[in-house]
Amino acid sequence: MAAEGALTTSGYIIHHLTNLTFGKLPEGFVRYDGSVVGEGGTWTIAHGNEAATMGFWAINLDSMLFSVGLGLFFIWLFRKAATKATAGVPGGLQNFVESIVEFVDDNVKSSFHARNQFVAPLALTIFVWVFLMNLMDLIPVDWIPYLATQLGVPYLKIVPSTDVNVTMGMSLSVFALILYYSLTVKGVGEFIGELTLQPLGKYMIPANLFLEGVNLLAKPVSLGLRLFGNMYAGEMIFILIALLPFWAQWILSVPWAIFHILVITLQAFIFMVLTVVYLSMAHESH
């Protein structure tokens, strides 16, 4: 059940929800094992809640490893299909890739009407990558962390989309694109006008700015937190199910896993569609 037999239930849960964080601990910090960090601080792997002390300049190695690994898998697989793509009879892989590409393309075409070469590939990347990251959730929760513990890695969270940094990293990237396209396609004047002159008319500029500002900022926050929340909750339930005796786990874990197939696909799809819609709004002039 638990990776470390001596752990309590809450310890087990916390262990499963802790990232493998690499960062700098400040001088004089008392570590989890009672040792004191020496002069000038030290770069190390965080144990327990040490990651909180590391501040912003730390990195979740497991999230980065799995998300980049899955991203590389995605581009490798799709690149492989793309190099062999023929207009003749498609093979299995090409068929698979084409059906996804067409699915994404149809979705983009239905909600994005401006001309932009980047949006459809971006949507494809988001859909497949987020799906793959979510898919890690279906690997039984103990397998890989247990293996990692045996190899001397103290923490390993294999589902990158249960890390708020990952989801917010993506949604803030989308936000950057929203701002970029708003400014370049609409122009600065119109973008500012959109933020200040509606919905209450030009005499209520502060109120307009507040409403539209919240509206604008809510986009990346809701986009990132929606994915994070869904995946985190799903993961949490898998962990709770894993606390049951081993012979009873399948009664709950199998239905939840089957249901989760729907959730992970849906979340990937929602992330993609919302990105396309936001970028479409950024391109639309009034």
Partner 1 sequence: MNINATIIGQAIAFFFFAWFCMKFVWPPVTAALRERQKKIADGLDAAERASRDLELAKEKATQALREGKEQAATIIEQANKRASQIVDEAKDAALAEGDRLKAAAKAEIEQEVNRAREALRAQVAALAVAGAEKILQKSVDKEAQAELVEKLAAEL
Q: Which parts of this chain interact with partner 1 (CB under 8 A)? A: 17, 19, 21, 23, 51-52, 54-60, 63-64, 67-68, 71, 74-75, 78-79, 81-83, 85-88, 90, 94, 97-98, 101-102, 105, 117-118, 120-122, 124-126, 129, 160, 163-166, 168-170, 172-173, 176
Dihedral of CA 65/68/71/75: which sign? negative
Q: Residue 198 to residues 192, 210, 216: CA-CA distances in angstroms? A: 10, 11, 13
Q: How far is the CB of 28 from partner 1 (least distance, A)?
A: 20
60 in catalytic set:
no
Which of 173, 222, 253, 285 is labelled catalytic? 222
Q: For 29, phi and psi rounded to 5 degrees?
A: -75, 135
Say if CB 23 and CB 60 are below 8 A apart: no
- Rank residues 195 and 272 by Cβ distance to partner 1 and give the closer one: 272
Q: What's the rounded Cα separation, in Å, for the pair 49 and 31?
A: 10
Backbone angles phi, psi at 285, to 5 degrees: -100, 145
Shortest distance in whole angstroms from residue 259 CB to partner 1:
24
Cβ within 8 Å of residue 278, ≥6 positions away: 174, 178, 219, 223
Q: 285 near 113, Cβ under 8 Å?
A: no
Active site residue 222: yes
Q: Which is nearer to partner 1, 184 or 188 (CB)?
A: 184
Q: Has 35 been annotated as catalytic?
A: no
Pick the catalytic residue from 134, 165, 182, 230.
230
The H-or-E segment that residue 24 falls in is strand 21-25
Give CA separation, 190 vs 194, 201, 203, 230, in Å.
Answer: 6, 15, 17, 36
Residue 59 phi/psi, 5-degree rounding, is -135, 140
- Active-site positions read 222, 226, 230
